[in-house]
Every structure is written in structure tokens, then in C-alpha cells.
């Protein structure tokens, strides 16, 4: 969930993160997700890896919420 109060520092941090680490981490999640989806047992884990790609690309300004409260408020 995106945080509404994330400002310019979050944007700058995300750009720096993307250049130095984000795209490598996202590529690793994609490759691992594809490899896990080859087997039937690994499909749920592969899908979980694909869900982590956007967070690994730009993690700042995001808030992780529990799945039982998808629209949680602070």
C-alpha cells in the first residue's frame, strides 16, 4: 500500500535504490519465480516471488499491511 505522506526524500531514495540494487533484486525475483513455476509444488512460491517484484524495485514510501486487513488504516 502506498503511503500518502511519502515525500521527495522517498522519491530520491527510490531512484538511488533502483540504480544500485533494485533492478538486480527484481531480476532475481523474476528468474526465481519462473524457476519455481516449473514444478506444481513451487507455483505458490513462484507467484509470491512475482508479487515481491514491485516492492523490490521501489520499496520506499510503501507500507506492508497484513493480508487479513488489506485496507488497514493507521
pLDDT in tens, 15-63: 888 889 889 999 999 999 999 999 999 999 999 999 989 888 887 777 6
Record the pTM.
0.69
Tell me how far apart the alpha carbons of residues 59 and 21 are, in angstroms, rounded to a whole number: 11
Tell me how far apart the alpha carbons of residues 3 and 5 are, in angstroms, rounded to a whole number: 6
Phi, psi at 70, each rounded to 5°? -65, -20
Cα 53–57–60 angle (5° rounding)?
120
Whether 72 shows a pLDDT value over 60: the answer reads no
pLDDT of residue 15: 86
Whether 70 shows a pLDDT value over 70: the answer reads no
**Could you count the other beta carbons within 10 Å of the beta carbon of residue 22?**
19
pLDDT of residue 1: 55
CA dihedral 61, 66, 44, 46 (to 10 degrees): 10
Amino acid at each position: 500500500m502506498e503511503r500518502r505522506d511519502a515525500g521527495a526524500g522517498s522519491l530520491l531514495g527510490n531512484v538511488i535504490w533502483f540504480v544500485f540494487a533494485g533492478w538486480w533484486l527484481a531480476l532475481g525475483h523474476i528468474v526465481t519465480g519462473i524457476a519455481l513455476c516449473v514444478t506444481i509444488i513451487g507455483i505458490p512460491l513462484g507467484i509470491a516471488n512475482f508479487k515481491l517484484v514491485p516492492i523490490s524495485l521501489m520499496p520506499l514510501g510503501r507500507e506492508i499491511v497484513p493480508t487479513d486487513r488489506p485496507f488497514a488504516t493507521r
